[in-house]
Structure 1
């Protein structure tokens, strides 16, 4: 069984009566699991496919992109780790959507690792009000501040948007639709 086709694609519903942190965390995990569900059961060729021309979107590209997003927001902004991206071109630009020779096993292993690291960082951060910094942005002081609350909310939005993309890609690949 492939790394992106494991039984952990089963989703649990977000908590409905929990505190703010648990609600945000379970919504994010629900969105992560939804993405895995969209990719489950596909071949390498299907994961690499770009069925919505002229768009360069593919499910494998989205997996690589989401790994970069997890890494960027949680490691670099929240934890100030300043780690580089995984997939870059020689000129330094991101290449997560360049999937012609990309390995799904590697991409999903990296993504899962980043999700797990993010969970650990969130669990270790005491307050949703904790502020991390995006270094080198266009802010007046050279960096922009983001609370953990904002980062979690943004990540839910990021996954929800890309899960919509994934739904369209999957429907074009094999007709499968749905949440």
Structure 2
């Protein structure tokens, strides 16, 4: 297959989309801190919210694995996106943005898989060809993005491994079943702790 991904620079990946689909631009805590500093330097309104979190009932902490960028500004876009220049933090792009249109799909709280975002204009244009590709073809078509998606995937795996290791060492307790009411109570009342890995 001679198809090669080329970004259309359309900004679809940086904007909220209409309808029920919720765009997620996940950030690891270190990425969030970097972008917060850049936003302060540039006097840009930058909002994030907690994304993937685990309640630690032993220490009464909310363990934060990822945040996500709020796309609720006037343009409903990443605040670092410029209509003329595109991404203005290219050298500090989060892994999720570097890997796009490859993305991590959460299978459950502990498992992820690499997928292709169907909202990308390139993907929409070549959907029929992309629908039946295998892993080797995926790596070839998305030659620059696939290694970044693998890094993204590995970092998530390391974070989940860290959580499980802390559980095995009995330093934290993550409930496997929890009511929405309990979870919301924890979210409102407990301290936050960022979980990071290199």
TM-score if structure 2 supplies the norm length?
Answer: 0.27
Bigger fraction of residues in helix: 1
Higher strand share: 2
Could you state the TM-score of these two structures normalised by the residue count of structure 1? 0.29
